[in-house]
């Protein structure tokens, strides 16, 4: 068990270790004291692990201006503002995954005729470069395109045509040389969404997102306009907004599970999700480190609504927070929440009972093995027919500490085993000049006519370990 980053595993509910932490998180999401407000803001929150909702919390009233209003619930509808930027990025990756596009790094000009914009920061001294190729699709989703926040002489809710936007940009300038500096751009996401819809799939952006993203994980209460059925569930706080995209805590929790690769309905394949979260500059998440883990989050903040969706991908944790109220000032809600959740989840993983898999046929792997007649290994069967490997050495002193010399072998597929230690081990063992990583150790057995005549352990930098006929007699 890695002492720094225990690997997530199946957990049996309820989890007593998590109960106290979850209550603390629910307490800090109750923001009456933090906001110093006489009335509790309308708020819904969900804490999730993998594909399981751990805890929900709902506070205030669905209509904050109506004293007799009912409280909100997980199905109350909120404006989500910039959380909607997640959807163009999922569209880009899904089209790429399905082969509709050759590369995530295609230039925007490949899909749009006459696209150009001045780049005063990328040319030589005394001249202004006309830039187009540097504005790529991946950079647009990562706040690295250098595009301005919005179109010149327009407001945030400008509803002109895509080509009209392209024409306006010809007289505009980049605010950063593409690929060199993060700059928040609503324009980049809007332009990306409509260009992909019009030029790649040939339908409206709203139609494609509804059919290909929202309907897949069953986001039944997420929409681009406030239809009559959703009006009755609307959380309006003290006044209503005109921002079109809305959702619920339940829907954003489903989206979070899908992004963690845990939901039964997929939005992206497993390998594509790895690439999606590999870019530390966005997609369109903001990224920070907490307790050594990478935490990604996206906020939405507009016209009396505040929304945040955060994910701790390695631990399969997620937090959804929806408010019909302004953003809480000087309050790091995600940071405080994960400061309780991370230690509790780590304890739960370390204490969880792990099920190891034996191979279908034990006989080929049981026996004695040696590495250059220096190190020797005895592989036998333990409880549950799981293979147990014990290391012993000749008169030469073994640099590996004794407590790490007995390990279990978890069968991943036939002839490939993962090294499992019952106790905590250092991620890197200091063994003279060798620094093997214990957290990535695996063993690949050789096979010759149904008999294992040796193995390699790449994670331990050990190769060509061969089988011997009997236990060696070692000199004392």
Q: Which residues make beta-bridge pairs with 234?
A: 77
- Statement: residue 241 has pLDDT above 50: no
Average pLDDT over residues 207-230: 83
pLDDT (tens digit per residue) in 92-113? 999 999 999 999 999 999 999 8
Q: Write the CB contacts of 124 (distance below 8 Å, at least 6 apart in sequence).
A: none
Q: Right CATH number for 16-80+222-351 from 3.40.50.1260, 3.40.710.10, 3.40.50.2300, 3.40.50.1820?
A: 3.40.710.10
Rounded CA-CA distance 172/403 in Å is 66
pLDDT (tens digit per residue) in 327-341? 877 778 888 999 999
Q: Do 133 and 109 touch, CB atoms closer than 8 A?
A: yes
Higher-pLDDT residue of 48, 284 = 48
Rounded CA-CA distance 295/473 in Å is 53
The residue ranges of every structural domain in the chain are 16-80+222-351, 103-189, 363-468
pLDDT (tens digit per residue) in 158-196? 567 888 888 888 888 999 999 888 889 999 999 999 999
Rounded CA-CA distance 173/162 in Å is 18
- Statement: residue 381 has pLDDT above 90: yes
Q: Do 25 and 341 touch, CB atoms closer than 8 A?
A: yes
pLDDT at 129: 62
Look up residue 417 and give its two tokens: 């085993």
């Amino acid at each position: 068990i890695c002492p720094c980053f225990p690997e997530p595993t199946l957990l049996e509910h309820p989890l007593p270790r998590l109960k106290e932490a979850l209550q603390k998180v629910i307490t800090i999401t109750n923001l009456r004291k933090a906001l110093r407000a006489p009335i509790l803001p309308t708020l819904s929150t969900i804490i999730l692990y993998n594909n399981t909702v751990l805890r929900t919390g709902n506070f205030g009233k669905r209509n904050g201006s109506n004293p007799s209003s009912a409280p909100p619930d997980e199905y109350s509808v909120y404006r989500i503002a910039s959380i909607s930027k997640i959807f163009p990025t999922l569209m880009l990756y899904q089209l790429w995954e399905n082969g509709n596009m050759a590369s995530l790094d295609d230039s925007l000009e490949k899909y749009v005729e006459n696209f150009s914009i001045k780049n005063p920061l990328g040319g030589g001294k005394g001249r202004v470069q006309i830039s187009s190729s540097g504005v790529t699709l991946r950079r647009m989703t990562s706040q690295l395109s250098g595009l301005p926040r919005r179109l010149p002489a327009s407001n945030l809710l400008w509803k002109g045509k895509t080509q009209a936007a392209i024409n306006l940009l010809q007289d505009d300038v980049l605010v950063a040389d593409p690929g060199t500096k993060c700059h928040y751009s609503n324009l980049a996401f809007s332009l990306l969404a409509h260009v992909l819809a019009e030029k790649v799939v040939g339908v409206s952006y709203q139609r494609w997102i509804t059919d290909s993203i929202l309907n897949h994980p069953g986001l039944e209460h997420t929409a681009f306009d406030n239809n009559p059925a959703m009006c009755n569930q609307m959380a309006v706080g003290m006044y209503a907004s005109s921002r079109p995209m809305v959702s619920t805590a339940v829907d954003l929790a489903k989206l979070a599970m899908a992004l963690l690769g845990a939901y039964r309905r997929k939005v992206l394949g497993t390998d594509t999700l790895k690439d999606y979260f590999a870019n530390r500059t966005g997609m369109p998440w903001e990224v920070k480190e907490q307790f050594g883990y990478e935490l990604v989050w996206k906020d939405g903040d507009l016209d009396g609504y505040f929304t945040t969706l955060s994910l701790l991908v390695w631990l399969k944790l997620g937090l959804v927070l929806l408010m019909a109220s302004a953003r809480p000032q000087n309050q790091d809600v995600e940071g405080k929440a994960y400061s309780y959740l991370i230690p509790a989840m780590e304890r739960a993983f370390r204490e969880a009972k792990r099920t190891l898999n034996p191979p279908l046929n034990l006989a080929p792997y049981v026996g004695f093995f040696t590495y250059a007649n220096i190190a020797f290994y005895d592989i036998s069967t333990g409880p549950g027919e799981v293979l147990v490997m014990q290391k012993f050495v000749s008169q030469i002193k073994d640099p590996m500490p004794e407590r790490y010399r007995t390990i279990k072998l978890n069968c991943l597929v036939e002839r490939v085993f993962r090294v499992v230690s019952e106790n905590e081990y250092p991620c890197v063992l200091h063994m003279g000049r060798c620094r093997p990583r214990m957290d990535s150790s695996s063993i690949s057995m050789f096979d010759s006519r149904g008999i294992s005549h040796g193995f390699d352990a790449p994670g331990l930098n050990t190769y060509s370990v061969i089988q011997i006929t009997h236990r060696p007699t070692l000199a004392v």
